[in-house]
Homo-oligomer: A and B are copies of this chain.
Amino acid sequence: MPPEPYTVGRQVSVRRPASIKDVAAAAGVSPTTVSHVLSGNRPVNEHTAARVRSVVNRLGYVPASLARSLQAGSTSVIGLLIPDISNTFFAELAKGAEDAAHDLGYGLILCNTEFDADREDRYLGMIRSRFIDGMVYASGSPPSRRRLEALMGKFPIALADEEVEGLQGALIATADHEAGGRLVGEHLRALGHRRALMLTGPRALKSGVARAQGFVRAFGGEVVERVGDFKESSGYRLVADLLDRGGLDCTAVFAANDLMAFGALTALREAGLSVPDDISVAGFDDIRAASLAHPPLTTVHQPAYDVGRTATAQLLQYVTRGEVPPASRHTLPVELKVRGSTAPATALRHR
């Protein structure tokens, strides 16, 4: 019979970690003194302090942050609510948020919702139960907007990347979606395109709407809109459907994000069309794969990292100092990356 493989297990359950009382008793002082030795909040006799510190080391005492938080009324932890961490855009955003949080000694709870309303609600519950001091909210599912609205009146919440329809007075950091759409519109127009297919995101998400608006205005030509859901599959499906029905009579496609652009690219390739010779394609986000794709995707670079970092820094400035940040709204600049997937319009052919 083999020996118990996990001494780990036993130790965890059996040995109770040392508390401040244990240290105080062993050092022959009061818990108050121990606390002050560790915090430096008031002077302690050097001799006493040394004795306490030695006991702390011997017992391996580490203050229970939970008790500290209960006493202090805050946990030094915030949440980051996003739909999908495996989307590189949100991963970059998360990195910025984590950096900003770490800079101020805050922890960050990853709230990945997959656009699921129940999941989002559960995570928002963490702020109501005051387990987190605040929440950076990036693009949730529309159904929870009402609940969000109620929360924003009571708890610190900052919006990142995505405006929420009808919500105002909020802290918000977002890329300039409208300008991004405009840049693509101008670019395609300059290339001689006059008829374009626009793959939008869900109407409820303002970022996608803004991109579409900026595009339509700047492009000037004829634009057919199809509503997608920001997933690769929907970009594929929308374009494939149009091709099947022979209804793709345009020379350019603008997808409201790169994933849908990739879907479109696949559908076009399967139909035997060449990008950009037969048709141009542009995306939005500039995820890592965009520059590595074949052809490299013309797209709008979003400062995802900065969006996450800025929104979080704003939130924390508010959380830590109880201050209203100097600017409640940050609109971060975007940049058009012209790559190989767009080219001058060719004569329209029947398909």
Query: A residues bordering B, Cβ < 8 Å?
Result: 5-9, 11-13, 15, 17, 62-67, 69-70, 75, 77, 80, 84-86, 88, 91-92, 94-95, 98-99, 102, 107-110, 112, 119, 122, 125-126, 128-131, 152-156, 169, 262, 288-289, 292-296, 305, 318, 322, 324, 328
Contact = CB atoms under 8 A, between A and B. Distances in A.
Given A69-B66, A70-B70, A324 B6 contact: yes
A286 B11 CA distance: 40
A318 B9 CA distance: 8
A177 B215 CA distance: 46
B85 A129 contact: no
Greatest chain B CB density within 10 A among A70, A126, A305 is at A70
Nearest to A154: B11
Q: What is the total number of copies of this protein in its complex?
A: 2
Contact of A13 (B152, B262, B322): B322
A169 B66 CA distance: 29
Nearest to A80: B110
B66 A75 contact: yes
Given A110-B80, A294-B294, A6 B169 contact: yes
Nearest to A133: B12
A30 to B, nearest CB: 21
